[in-house]
Each structure stands twice: as structure tokens, then as C-alpha cells.
Amino acid sequence: MVQFYSPNRRSVNRGIISVTADNLDAQGQGIARHQGKTIFISGLLPGEQAQIQLTEEKRQFAKAKVVKRLSDSTYRVAPRCPHFKVCGGCQQQHVATELQANTKASVLEHLIQRETGVQVSAHPIIHSPDYGYRRRARLGLQYHAKQRALLMGFRQSQTNDLVNIKHCSVMRPELEQLLQPLSQCLNSLSAVKRLGHVELVLADNGPLIVLRHLDPLKHEDRESLRTFAVQHNVAVYLAGDEKSLELLMEEQPEPWYQVDGLKLVFSPRDFIQVNDAVNQQMVKQALAWLDLQPTDRVLDLFCGMGNFTLPIATKVQSVVGVEGVAALVSSGQYNAQLNELNNVDFFHENLESDIHQQPWAALGFNKVLLDPARAGAAGVMSHIVKLVPEKVVYVSCNPTTLARDSKVLLEAGYHLVSVRMLDMFPHTSHLESMALFSREPMVIE
């Protein structure tokens, strides 16, 4: 008789356990200890007692759900959004934003110290408005045959189902007020079953909407959208595929936003920072850390459309921006001309490939800024070291890759001078940060 090996499965204790949370993790889960094991409990805050039930158990930790909360923390607040606990967009509206931000800062400090051995403070935190901060949002569209209605919203937590959003407290009010009339307009279209998604963007000169449609729109549908655009003073763009983009009413102006006194025109599909208030502070902090001088030659890697590059150009001899997305490079070049900045060069290059043959790599720079995606900047760190810049500012959307890439600079003799936690996305687990490295020891006031 053939026997097959079957590993022992760790059984989950389904009994009720009483615990008190003593900490919070970056995902907003309460942390408690029971019989030497760490337990992560969704919805429980530090200081709160609760009866819980384990949902997953590992050798070193377990996860649990609250059966009954026995006390309330002073940091527990009433969520503003009616879709909280259903929508997967915001998970921490029940937590005071002060605790959210301080927890993220502590997570950042711990991670950097654990990975690099350097003890740093992520304070003062660069704060955001608690609500009404998001100037860009992408909502799914899903036709529900039984309801005979188009659902418009965000995914439910851990599912592919849409929550039909009528309010969104983290959106800028100018965008939130468009949700219900936009839903009504889209539901009236004959193409209602063949719509993909919709993006809402708030430029400094007004809101715009990008509608992804899977089939060509009939004249009647285009007229309905044109009426909506006029009634709500919004620019409507039609996207028949992932590359094309048609402005429904051609007389409407190009969208733009301001940063550090400059006007940056962008395409609705260009990446721009979602949180304008934090972006303004972030750019200001980066420029201050770099201590820009008229003789500086600055390199800006993963530069996008020049969110940092162009403000830097107003203060230095020259700046070079390198970016992998051709459309963003074109926008950067256009905006350099628009703002009459003649000391800027943009290069369209893949920074994840062999950079040593790329033309910008032969140039010399004395200061460097980089703002990579979540994967980090492993491919360029050794070249940054070869440049021997006086200062390096690293803007990060992933603390794990920031800590990893920091090791390269630290091993090359650089000093990690300062770190900031950027509260770019309150009520979510996203942790943005920035760090300053210097070739010489220095003290930041």
C-alpha cells in the first residue's frame, strides 16, 4: 500500500481569549501578547481590552478577530465615511490620525534601525489634512444585471466586488460632489454595460474625468456626457483603449497644478502626487535638505514630469532628470519651456537596465535626488556612489526598499542625517518617507 506524506497542520484554537492590545502596527491592527505569542487583531487599538477569536495561527504569531470589545481607547474616533468597513480604500478611519502617523513613524524608525543599525527619528512628521486630501481617484465600473444598474466605486476589502460609492471623505470636496451626478449620467448611457473604469482628477484649474469605454460611444452618449461636462464645469476625456485619449470638448484648457511657484501642465494620464498639501511640503523639504547653490549640478532620478526637477532648476547651475516613461519626459520638457527654464535636460531611459551606457551617466553631479517606485533603486545605487555627491535625498513609497538601498550609501561612508515620515495617505497603511544622506557629518535643526 502506497503511503503519502502529509505534513501536520497547525490547528487554530477557536476558543475565546481575553487580551489587552499594547501597540498598533502600520496596517492599523492591534498587537497583543498571549502565552508568549504575538497576536494581530483587526480593529483593536492600544489599551483596549477585548474577547477575541483566532483566525490564523503560526509558530511565531497569530491573527484574530474581535468578538467583543470590553473598553475603548481615547484614540478611537467615529469614522466619517458611511462605507467604512465595507470599502477597501481606507482601513483606519476609526483611529485618531495622530496615532496613525506616530505608528507609521515608529515602524519606519524600527525598520531602518533593524536593517542598517542606524538609530534615527522620523519626526517631525510631514502631516496631511485628515480628510479631503485626495486629488486623484480611480473608480471601477461594474454593471449589475439583477439590479439593472452600473456600480461605481472601490473594491471591497479582500474581494473583487465593488462598493457602490456615493460619498468619499478622503477625496477633495470638488471631486466628491461629482460622484452621485456622475453615477446618474453613466447609468443613463446606452453603453452602460461596456464601461471599464473612471478617473477623477482635480487640477488647479478645475476637475476632469477620464472615462474608459470598451466600445465606440454613440452620438447620444457623447451628447449626454457633453451636457454633464457643461452642467458641472468639468473636462471629460474619453479613453477608447489604454493609449488613446480624446478631450470631449476641445475648447477646454489643459490641466495644470502649481508647485514651488511653477506651473506644471500635465496629461490626465500623467502621474502626479495624489496629496497636493503633502507634495508641496515634500518638495520644500527636499530643496532645503539639498541646500541648493547657484553652482550646483543636480541629478534627479525617476523624475517623472519634473515635480522636483523644475523647482530645483530655479536655484542651480544645471539639473538633469531621468525617467523611464516617455510621456512624462515629454511633459517635463514642455514645462521647462513653459517656465522658461533653460538649464534642464530630461532623458528617457530605463533605470532598471544597464545604466552605464546611458548618456546621462557620463555627466558629473554634486547632488542627487531620487524618487523610485516601490521596487526601489537597486540598479542605480552603485552609480550614485561613484558620483561622490555631497548630498543625496531619497524619496520613498516603500520603507523596505529604502532601508535596503540605504545600506549601499552607508557602506560607502555616507551618513544618514535625517528621515521624515510623509503622511501622504491618512487612514491607510501606505507609508511614504524621505531621507537625507551626506558625505560629511552634519546636524539638521
Q: Check residue 245 and give its pLDDT.
A: 94
Distance CA 369, CA 27 (A): 29
Nearest to 188 by CA among 243, 246, 227: 227
Q: Which pLDDT value is given to residue 156?
A: 87
| 267 belongs to a structural domain | no
Last residue of a domain, one of 193, 225, 256: 256
Kindly report the number of other CB atoms within 10 A of residue 61's CB atom.
12
85 part of a folded domain: no
Above 90 in pLDDT, residue 4? no
CA distance linking residue 395 with residue 312, whole number of Å: 15
303 is in an annotated binding site: no
pLDDT of residue 413: 97
Q: Higher-confidence residue: 412 or 243?
A: 412
Is residue 118 in some structural domain?
yes
300 labelled ligand-binding: no
Does the annotation list 25 as a binding residue? no
Tell me the mean pLDDT in the region 383-411. Answer: 97
> Which three cell numbers mark 99?
496615532
* Statement: residue 92 has pLDDT above 70: yes
The mean predicted confidence, pLDDT, of the chain is 93
- List the CATH number of the domain containing 43: 2.40.50.140
Catalytic residue among 44, 303, 329, 397: 397
The total number of structural domains that make up the chain: 3
Q: Note the pLDDT of residue 443.
A: 60
- CB count in 10 Å sphere of residue 130: 18
In angstroms, how far apart are the furthest CA atoms of the chain? 83
Provide the pLDDT confidence category of residue 5 given band limits of 50, 70 and 90. very low
Question: Which residues does residue 421 pair with via DSSP β-bridges, in sequence order?
Answer: 433
| pLDDT surpassing 60 at residue 385 | yes
Q: Are 71 and 49 in contact (CB under 8 A)?
A: yes
Domain that holds residue 173: 136-256
If you average pLDDT over residues 155-181, what whole number do you get? 92
Q: Is residue 89 part of a domain?
A: no
In terms of domains, do 302 and 428 share one? yes
End position of a domain, from candidates 198, 227, 256 = 256
90 is in an annotated binding site: yes
Q: What is the mean pLDDT of the segment spanning 302-323?
A: 98
| Co-location of 313 and 344 in the same domain | yes
- Answer yes or no: do 199 and 314 share one domain: no
CATH number assigned to the domain comprising residue 240: 2.40.50.1070
Question: Considering the chain, what percentage of its residues have pLDDT values greater than 90?
Answer: 86
pLDDT confidence of residue 161: 85
For residues 374 and 411, membership in a common domain is answered with: yes
Contact between residue 38 and residue 120 where contact means Cβ atoms under 8 Å apart:
no
pLDDT at 12: 56
Per-residue pLDDT, 159: 82
Structural domain contains residue 270: no
* Predicted local distance difference test score (pLDDT) of residue 189: 97
Q: 355 and 428: one domain? A: yes
Residues 148 and 125 in one domain: no
Q: pLDDT tens digit string along 25-66?
A: 888 899 999 988 999 999 999 999 999 999 998 888 999 999
State how far Cα 159 lies from the chain centre: 21
397 part of the active site: yes
Establish if 251 belongs to a structural domain: yes
305 and 327 in a common domain: yes
Residue 388: CATH number of its domain: 3.40.50.150
Query: Residues 445, 150: contact at Cβ < 8 Å?
Result: no
Rounded CA gap, 144 and 202, in Å?
29
Clarify whether residues 141 and 119 are in a common domain. Answer: no
User: Is 350 among the annotated ligand-binding positions?
Assistant: yes
pLDDT (average), residues 310-337: 98
Query: Can you give the length of the chain in residues?
Result: 445
Beta-strand ranges (E) seen in 128-178 are 136-144, 149-155, 162-164
Cell numbers 508647485 correspond to: 259
Same domain, 145 and 225: yes
Residue 9 lies in a domain: no
- Residue 1: pLDDT band (50, 70, 90) is very low
**What string of DSSP letters covers 304-324?**
TTTTTHHHHHTTSSEEEEEES
116 in the same domain as 162: no
Question: Terminal CA-to-CA distance of the chain, rounded, Å?
Answer: 75
With CA atoms as reference, report the closest residue to 113 among 403, 397, 378, 377. 403
Domain annotation covers residue 264: no
Q: What is the pLDDT of residue 173?
A: 98
pLDDT tops 90 at residue 199: yes
Predicted confidence at residue 11, as pLDDT, reads 53
305 and 164 belong to one structural domain: no
> Are 247 and 377 in a shared domain?
no
* Helices 179-187, 219-232: crossing angle, 10 deg rounding: 160
| Segment 130-167, tens digit of pLDDT | 999 999 999 999 998 888 899 999 998 778 889 999 99
- 3-state class (DSSP) for residue 194: helix
Predicted confidence at residue 424, as pLDDT, reads: 97
